[in-house]
Amino acid sequence: MAIQTIQTRPFPEQKPGTSGLRKKVTVFQAPHYLENFVQSIFDSLEGFAGQTLVVGGDGRYGNLEATKVILRMAAANGFGRVLVGRDGLLSTPAASCVIRKHAAFGGIVLSASHNPGGPDGDFGIKYNIGNGGPAPERITDAIFECSKNIREYRIVDEVEMALDREHEFTLDSMAVHVIDPVADYAGLMAELFDFRAISYLFQSGFRMRFDAMHAITGPYATEILQNRLGAPRGTVINGVPLADFGGGHPDPNLTYAKELVAEMFGEQALDFAAASDGDGDRNMILGHRFFVTPSDSLALLTANATLAPGYADGLAGVARSMPTSAAVDRVAEALDIDCFETPTGWKFFGNLMDAGKVTLCGEESFGTGSSHVREKDGLWAVLFWLNILAVRQQPVEALMREHWAKYGRNYYSRHDYEGVDAVSAETLMTGLREELKTLPGRQLGQLTVATADDFSYTDPVDGSVSRGQGIRIGFSEGSRIVFRLSGTGTEGATLRVYLERFEADPAHHDQDTQQALADLIAIAVDVADIQRLTGRELPTVII
């Protein structure tokens, strides 16, 4: 089998974002585009000759074809073995699990996460290092530098590959193992959670729904919830992964999982419901006519962690992204464990977990996880909730209200302005940065600004510094507003505005969230001049 060296030229802007390189499918379909980026990954790495690579993705349009290209390039570049999910499938947390369990050198994950799929949708690719987590900035920066100077890539001859069954074959001298994409992950979940207690919960008549949104988590949820835990058939809906996610938007939030939300707030509402996203790393938690914010979910899991066997010895610490509410901070203080505040992006949690400083971590964008892998993990969070419900024997709402009574409630919301003109979005952020020095002491509405900065993070493990991670405005009575641009979109820019106010008194825990934050919302729109600069009267998504 011959190795071909193909001449090519650089493409502009193959710069990995928060979670790898994401572009429209049509961009990735350009000749040499995918191959350039894959070769840039390999060119940025050292010491992988003869080592193991893990490959898999979320099953979106183009996933299988891209998987085969990567296998051919891995063989041409000297990897000794590849573990690839059957049909090219691996959820993002499962890919991390496989990398860690089999001591792989790293992995290539094909996913654009919660972005839409199909031929007119989005595609994505990212590199995960040997700890199972997303490549840190020093590696993604190196990949980008290689992509700007690439002149050729290496690939073996095209051959027929059977990836639809579990077996082994060779490409040139590289061994290819097609593996069950669910098995290793399901085994790990059985080690962390009390499957017997959760099974009894279902036997007691507990009713739940899991919406896989026609994305990658369907096979995982079906195997674990229905086959292993005994949940009734039909518990998992939209469970067959489709290349276009059934035409839907695979983002598990109140806007895009509206059918599930309608069921849980309707006359026949179930006890519990959850949804996951395109690549299986996000989650939404719902109780009987009750929505649990991701920030509250992280806080409650932290407070009840020792109820799950895998966390019975307690937590080393916790971490949250800066825009995530401070709800978990108060739990950490009560437990006398460290709580770290990091920039947005799961890669920032990896060092903390590898150093043994944190066990649980989470982001407000529906991502929660722990040190069992180095990615956020949607189904893991659902199983954690089920384990707690099985032990506590209380409804979701009752658990949350009891939690608020003990720790206080953080009223919290995120307003997204999607598809904003990129230049206008940057103008908005630049304008805010120019005002930072003059904001402290100013009166905005009825509130006085106490602090204003552009968040900077120094990694406590390796000392690396990340600047420009989001503009924070803090008020004297403790509330805050955060502005940042998301790095996960493929068109225009997404402006995210985060609003938070703490309320200690249980007598005031029943307010509507948007009403409780109404003054902060008005201040945010005014201080950033959002309507004029974005042309938007209202956010696209309110969470």
Q: How far apart are CA 530 and CA 134, in angstroms?
A: 33
CA–CA distance from 430 to each of 290, 423, 426, 434, 467 (Å)?
38, 10, 6, 6, 14
Instruction: Tell me the residue range of the domain where 276 lies.
Output: 185-407
Same domain, residue pair 206 and 279: yes
344, 373, 407 - which closes a domain: 407
In tens digits, the chain (543 residues) has pLDDT values of: 799 999 999 998 899 887 799 999 999 999 999 999 999 999 999 999 999 999 999 999 999 999 999 999 999 999 999 999 999 999 999 999 999 999 999 999 999 988 889 999 999 999 999 999 999 888 999 999 999 999 999 999 999 999 999 999 999 999 999 999 999 999 999 999 999 999 999 999 999 999 999 999 999 999 999 999 999 999 999 999 999 999 988 889 888 898 999 999 999 999 999 999 999 999 999 999 999 999 999 999 999 999 999 999 999 999 999 999 999 999 999 999 999 999 988 888 999 999 999 999 999 989 999 999 999 999 999 999 999 999 999 999 999 999 999 999 999 999 999 989 999 999 999 999 999 999 999 999 999 999 999 999 999 998 988 889 999 999 999 999 999 998 555 567 899 999 999 999 999 999 999 999 999 999 999 999 999 999 999 998 888
Cβ atoms of residues 91 and 218 within 8 Å: no
Same domain, residue pair 417 and 397: no
Q: How far apart are CA 131 and CA 136, in angstroms?
A: 11
Residue 101 in 3-state DSSP?
helix
CA-atom Rg of the chain in angstroms:
23
386, 407, 428 - which closes a domain: 407
Work out the number of other CB atoms within 10 angstroms of the CB of residue 31: 9
Q: How far apart are CA 164 and CA 498, in angstroms?
A: 44
DSSP 447-508: EEEEEEEE--EE-TTT--EE----EEEEETTS-EEEEEE-SS-SSSEEEEEEEEEEE--GGG
What is the amino acid identity at position 274?
A
First to last CA, the chain: 53
Cβ atoms of residues 360 and 305 within 8 Å: yes
Same domain, residue pair 171 and 282: no
CA–CA distance from 301 to each of 14, 252, 370, 452, 514 (Å)?
38, 19, 11, 31, 24
Q: What pLDDT score was predicted for residue 113?
A: 86
Q: Please, which residues bridge with residue 126 across strands? A: 109
Beta carbons within 8 Å of 421's beta carbon, 6+ residues apart:
492, 493, 534, 535
CA–CA distance from 340 to each of 175, 276, 397, 400, 415 (Å)?
41, 26, 27, 23, 24
Cβ atoms of residues 504 and 214 within 8 Å: no
Q: What pLDDT score was predicted for residue 254?
A: 87
Residue 1 in 3-state DSSP?
coil
Same domain, residue pair 300 and 441: no
Cβ atoms of residues 263 and 269 within 8 Å: yes
- Quick one: DSSP state of residue 139? H
| CATH (domain of 473) | 3.30.310.50
Query: Residues 19, 40, 113, 371: which is the catalytic one?
Result: 113
Same domain, residue pair 19 and 146: yes
Q: How far apart are CA 474 and CA 449, in angstroms?
A: 6
Same domain, residue pair 285 and 373: yes
For residue 320 the two structure tokens come to 């949250």
Same domain, residue pair 365 and 440: no
For residue 358 the two structure tokens come to 């944190």
Same domain, residue pair 423 and 366: no
Domain count, the chain: 3
Q: How far is CA 267 from the centre of its chain?
A: 32
Same domain, residue pair 124 and 68: yes
Q: What pLDDT score was predicted for residue 487?
A: 59
What is the amino acid identity at position 452?
A
Same domain, residue pair 448 and 391: no
Query: Which position has the token pair 């920039």?
Result: 343
383, 407, 431 - which closes a domain: 407
Residue 456 a catalytic site member: no
CA–CA distance from 365 to each of 43, 113, 226, 283, 302 (Å)?
32, 12, 27, 9, 17
Q: How far apart are CA 292 and CA 285, in angstroms?
A: 6
Same domain, residue pair 175 and 190: no
Same domain, residue pair 196 and 162: no
| CATH (domain of 143) | 3.40.120.10
Look at residues 488, 486, 464 and name the one whose alpha carbon lies nearest to residue 138.
464
